[in-house]
């Protein structure tokens, strides 16, 4: 039981990374991206392929995974984010499907539907982080989540965070204040993509094997749900949302009711969460984080 709870915590960590990325895109930038699963997959496969085929260590594949995801983020973001409207949502929806399509069909690189096995474990100065023991892995992962959280938290208070908030509230007003709206949108999108790539890296190092079946559209919707449930524009809330959603999705196993609860139960619930939250509590459980700016030496 305790072991199972640790598993949930680890998945919370991996998904929290993705949710942080989704939050900077959707919560701060107000853009709807539906492809965290796609970047997640790219990150996972980058780690899997570089580690098994070229013998890279996990720590070398981690930035590579982030870079690959960022590159693809730029590729989709640049044409779609220049435009007004919600083209990003459709383009990213298509992108996620295509990533899976390519992973399934490019046998020489990805080994098709079989996926890649025997991914080496993470090592830190000779200490092997064995995912079967969970504790060590959870510690490493938590540090990664913490670092990502602090970075994003700083970012939200920077020029970029303010610019994004302005773009979200009113594009025309932001533009007339001299904000290059496309630039900041693309930045946010790339950042969100690369942190999902990092999450993918950890996923590969945790399960030690990757296959296309893991990276379905449901993953993207789950991540979106986490951000919406916790509260858009609040990084703490994204992590909380990640925990709640993971808890819900393992509820049948936790309660031992797998025979009673249909396998579609959680997906239907995620859908309901999205609709119900939008209608009755669009700000999420914790609400948007209010940022107060203090003058140097002055009072609040």
Partner 1 sequence: MGIAEFFQHLMNGLTLGGIYALIALGYTMVYGILKFINFAHGDVLMAGAFIGLFVFDWLRGSAPLGVWTIISFFLAMIVSMGLSALLGVFIERVAYRPLRQATRLAPLLSAIGVSFILSNGAAWAFGTRSRKFNYPFDNTPITIAQVVITPHQILILVVSLVMMIALRLFVNRTRMGKAMRATSLDQPTAMLMGINVDRVISLTFAIGSALAAVGGILIALDFKVYASMGTMTGLKAFVAAVVGGIGNISGAMFGGILLGLLETFGVAIFGIPTGLKDTIAFGVLILILLIRPEGLFGKVEKEKV
- Where residue 44 falls (left for φ over 0; alpha for ψ -120 to 50; beta otherwise) is alpha
Minimum CB distance to partner 1, residue 200 (Å):
21
Alpha-carbon gap, residue 181 to 164, rounded angstroms? 8
Q: For residue 145, which of 153, 155, 134, 133 has the smallest C-alpha distance? A: 153
- Unique residue bearing structure tokens 């509260």: 231
Question: Could you tell me if 239 and 13 are in contact, meaning their C-beta atoms sit under 8 angstroms apart?
Answer: no
83 contributes a contact to partner 1 by CB under 8 A: yes
Window of 78-86, 140-148, 182-190, 287-295 that interacts with partner 1 by CB under 8 A: 78-86
For residue 124, give both structure tokens. 């830190």
For residue 126, give both structure tokens. 């000779």
Minimum CB distance to partner 1, residue 26 (Å):
7
**According to CB under 8 A, which residues from 216 to 275 bind partner 1?**
217, 221, 224, 228, 232, 262-265, 267-268, 270-275
CA dihedral 133, 137, 138, 140 (to 10 degrees): 150
Minimum CB distance to partner 1, residue 53 (Å):
23
213 contributes a contact to partner 1 by CB under 8 A: no
Minimum CB distance to partner 1, residue 190 (Å):
17
Exposure string for 272-286, b = 16+ CB within 10 A, e = fewer:
ebeeebeeeeeebeb
Minimum CB distance to partner 1, residue 4 (Å):
24
Q: Which residues of the shown chain bind partner 1 in the complex (CB under 8 A)?
A: 26, 30, 32, 34, 76, 79-80, 82-87, 89-91, 93-95, 97-98, 101-102, 104-105, 172, 217, 221, 224, 228, 232, 262-265, 267-268, 270-275, 277-279, 282
């Amino acid at each position: 039981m305790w072991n199972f709870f640790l598993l949930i915590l680890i998945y919370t960590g991996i998904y929290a990374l993705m949710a942080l990325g989704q939050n900077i895109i959707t919560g701060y930038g107000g853009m709807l991206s539906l492809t965290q699963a796609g970047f997640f997959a790219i990150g996972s496969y980058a780690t899997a392929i570089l580690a098994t085929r070229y013998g890279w260590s996990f720590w070398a594949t981690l930035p590579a995974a982030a870079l690959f995801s960022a590159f693809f983020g730029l590729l989709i973001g640049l044409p779609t984010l220049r435009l007004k409207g919600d083209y990003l949502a459709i383009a990213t929806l298509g992108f996620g499907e295509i990533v899976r399509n390519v992973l399934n069909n490019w046998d020489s690189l990805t080994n098709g539907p079989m996926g890649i096995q025997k991914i080496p474990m993470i090592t830190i100065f000779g200490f092997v982080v064995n995912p079967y023991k969970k504790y060590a892995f959870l510690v490493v992962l938590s540090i990664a989540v913490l670092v990502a959280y602090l970075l994003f938290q700083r970012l939200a208070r920077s020029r970029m965070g303010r610019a994004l908030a302005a773009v979200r509230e009113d594009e025309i007003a932001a533009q007339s204040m001299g904000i290059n709206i496309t630039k900041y949108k693309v930045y946010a999108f790339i950042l969100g993509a690369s942190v999902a790539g990092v999450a993918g890296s950890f996923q590969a190092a945790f399960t030690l094997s990757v296959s296309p079946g893991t990276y379905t559209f449901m993953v993207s919707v789950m991540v979106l749900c986490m951000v919406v449930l916790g509260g858009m524009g609040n990084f703490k809330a994204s992590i909380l949302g990640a925990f709640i959603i993971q808890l819900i999705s393992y509820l049948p196993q936790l309660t031992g009711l797998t025979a009673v609860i249909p396998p579609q139960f959680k997906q239907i619930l995620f859908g309901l969460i999205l609709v119900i939250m939008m209608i009755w509590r669009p700000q999420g459980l914790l609400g948007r984080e209010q940022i107060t700016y203090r003058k140097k030496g002055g009072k609040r």
